[in-house]
Amino acid sequence: MSNVIYANTKQLDKVADLLSGYPKDAVRIMNSVLSRAADTVRVETGRQIPKVFGAPQKEIRSALNQKQRKVKPIMGAAGEGSVSVIVLGRPLTMTRFRHTPSSPPQKAKSGNRRLFRIKAMISRENGLLSVGPVHGIDGKNKAVFLMPAKKNDGSGRYLFAYRTGFGSKGSREKVKVIRTLSIPQMVTNEQVGPVIVEKVNQTVFSRLTHELDRSFGNLGTNLATGGK
């Protein structure tokens, strides 16, 4: 699955065998490991994505707090003794990324609306690129404009949108918000995913050691050091 962050440590299989006679402890320890793994993905997603893509950290974190997007830990998706974290979510609106302008320009003194070009930075490597025009369903190019995210909500947030054009006879012209990459797509990017996986592996290893030490003396530390 392209939206899954896999973490697999050498200790997990061994721990599963050791705890086979302690089912309650096993469930508690693995739940703790899963929770920490998911928290690590949330934190590192906000840190790593802005290094490659044009979405600021606050926008990524804000998007992950919405109902349509979440981080969900599961056991065994990558095989026996593995911890996996699924990142779910629909594509982000383009204004979640760095863009210009952030609001419709004010009218000039002459009363005419100032001309402006809409740009957005999806990839940091490519910088700000022009957005639009967009091909409508009627075959005509449609200009991209800014529209309020929600009417009268006072947030001052705008979205990039375009009019779709008229389709079949009698149909109404619709306004469509422009969306781009999703968080799952960015998380599994070759420059982002491996960094997050490494962080998750470190978290899983550290949490396992802590929980095993707390429940069974120095068992976690002994496993980590090979019994030395």
111-150 confidence digits (pLDDT tens): 565 567 899 999 999 999 999 899 888 888 998 999 888 7
Strands 158-163 and 175-177: antiparallel
Cβ pair 87, 94 in contact under 8 A: no
Distance CA 197, CA 32 (A): 18
Determine the angle formed by the axes of helices 57-64 and 23-52, rounding to 10 degrees. Answer: 140
- C-alpha distances in Å from residue 159, one per residue of 72, 84, 118: 28, 34, 11
Cβ pair 214, 22 in contact under 8 A: no
The first and second tokens of residue 181, run together, are: 């990459």
Strands 98-100 and 119-121: antiparallel
- Over residues 27-72, the pLDDT tens digits come to 788 788 888 888 888 899 999 999 999 999 999 988 887 776 778 7
Which amino acid, residue 16?
A
pLDDT in the model for residue 203: 87
pLDDT in the model for residue 52: 96
Determine the angle formed by the axes of helices 193-216 and 23-52, rounding to 10 degrees. Answer: 150
pTM over 0.75: yes
pLDDT in the model for residue 98: 94
Domain spans in the chain, listed from the N-terminal domain onward: 4-90+182-224, 93-180
Cβ pair 64, 70 in contact under 8 A: yes
Burial 161-197 (b: 16+ CB within 10 A, else e): bbbbbeeeeeeeeeeeebebbbbbbbbbbeebbeebb
- C-alpha distances in Å from residue 80, one per residue of 12, 75, 77, 159, 169: 8, 8, 8, 45, 57
Distance CA 216, CA 225 (A): 16
Burial 77-115 (b: 16+ CB within 10 A, else e): ebeebbbbbbbebeebbbbbbbbeeeeeeeeeeeeeeee
Cβ pair 118, 111 in contact under 8 A: no
Q: Mean pLDDT lowest for which of 16-25, 65-74, 77-86, 212-221?
A: 77-86
